Chain A
């Protein structure tokens, strides 16, 4: 996500950053390029203008040009201006109310409301331990209610039984009643997709709002939306009132310009980002990290958090102990490979790291993709349990058998083993250096503690 914009803006400001002396003309040129890059990323025109004006004013106003590292200063200014657009703090869902908290999902047709409703439900039930009820008010699109019911079952969240022929207000009433009687913490109402210009349907949405008195009104918007994103958001905001935004399809190559515009113009915070078709592909929105990512600075904090959410803490600690006491075997390597896959695969992880654009392209060119990980796992799984515990058993004949079993060449098996032996060697060296107490220093507390602390540790480590 945001790669196109990230690569382009990164390159523009990078060039500026490397120069010792900068003239007003250089800044004007850079901003002209930035304008096109932002427009091609579908950032709303008015927002682009604000951005360029702001950056220019600040860059020219603060003796920046005569300072020691003017380029770096301009980058800092651009970063701050981006933050102004994105908002500075993450704002969580407002569901800490007397239950049931009602969340209303709104949006155009095909923006991804239903999928997002299921993802948010899964998020609230899974990470926040809330009891969630899903209800679809979409009586217009054929099979829309069934879609939500299927998704609800898939994520293990309750959904309101479908009563054919009931109108949206009727369903709302029934959902509210069910939520109250059955003690749900959160009720998520998924509405039919509607055009912002459709007066009748907007009136219906307002009627649902009046009846349900939702605590959150989330507008779901496709990240690929063009300049119309603003019109849509403004209409919904004016007619129904919006308390938060969810941007979907950030796993595509959309440059996500809408994310930049919406907050700036509607004043509503973005709360979630949809990053894939799978139900776990939902990220809590962090404006500061996003600004980093857009300017190509990476987002290590989100990466650590992602690891914390996916990796089982006790398992991680057991693994760490093994690593530093010398019992690390192929079983553990397989476990690690699986974790990388669980976290969305290599390409997804790389997206969080600084300077990614280029590396990612190179990896693609070199055909290093997530299938490599799956293949390596297959190789390990083709070994006997004894072999997995003791890799030194593996002679030529065993390797041939394993290669056949995993559907790869013997070289692939060798490559994996080489990787494993090197890893073992490194671990031995680390053990020797740190001594018995070193383990606690680096890995203590596992990965699931405060990400900032882990980050600080990582920074010290490298």
Chain B
């Protein structure tokens, strides 16, 4: 396999310099805020170095979203690998990290899923403190509603499975649901009446930008180069080993390439002629005009196909199911959100006169078993973390943590082991569709 030729345009040549000029990362604290308040906020410095590429790195991470920056941070912090670059083709956190509905939970059915999502949940709990960056983590509780007997049985089974795995979960009947979340309509004269629901109290929402920026800042402080506007256009492989990457900002030599490219995972994998079971779909989301606090928790419903929370700014953040077709356009169809809003209004009739302010779509990388791929590949030194589908945000810290371990040690740890690419050959899938369904 050869370098894919650069198509056109000047590139700045990476130099052999040791590093960018050192930049100290001052600690954020109440006192720094107070001091800067008195000084008119003139003394803040950039949170991370906007690095330009060096000629050689020990490891290159493709993708500067939440998972990519988390991987870089844990590589540097836990494995001492600091000569690492994060290559982001756009701006940091501008892909799916900036387009999701920031719901965090870990109430998955299977042991393998509970292990990785609850690993992430434990990291979320201390993340703001660890990164010295307010990620606005709010453990306000996640409700998953049941609308028929079958779903009720399924959700109760899930609660028992959660408890066995040490994940907090409890059952609420319809009245308890109403007490916990007053705006929900629990009347029975609707198409999908609310019969009850599961509650994970540790679940909640956080701030997407802050998570990515916090990880980038912490990784940069440890010596990682965060390189934006740098798209990987080819991967150099010789004798089955990775030798480097070709980018829009020049060639970089490295022996380890870690792809965390989300929707573009298949595009990156094609550079090394690797076929993956991933399909990229649009996933849409919307926010309403800001209103006073009305929704105290996250509400998800698989049957009516809706999930909703209220941001700290007061906007309702509403998620939809994926559009059926494959697409990289970050655009979805109106009929999908029309159904979504119809479902939401049956749950919350009081929202019917709210105006929607913004609407967007991300591109999600869906695996056939709705579980991610965190894996080595037949190409030595090329690692894949992708296929998170519609539910990657909640896993961000856990995903970065176990992927860093895989990249550093060239072997998966116990949490990452079930997510090997091999499972599609052996048939040992982690089929979470039943447990998580559409509202993932």
Decide if A and B are genuine partners. Answer: no
**Residue positions of B touching A, CB distance < 8 A:** none
Binding site for B on A (CB under 8 A): none
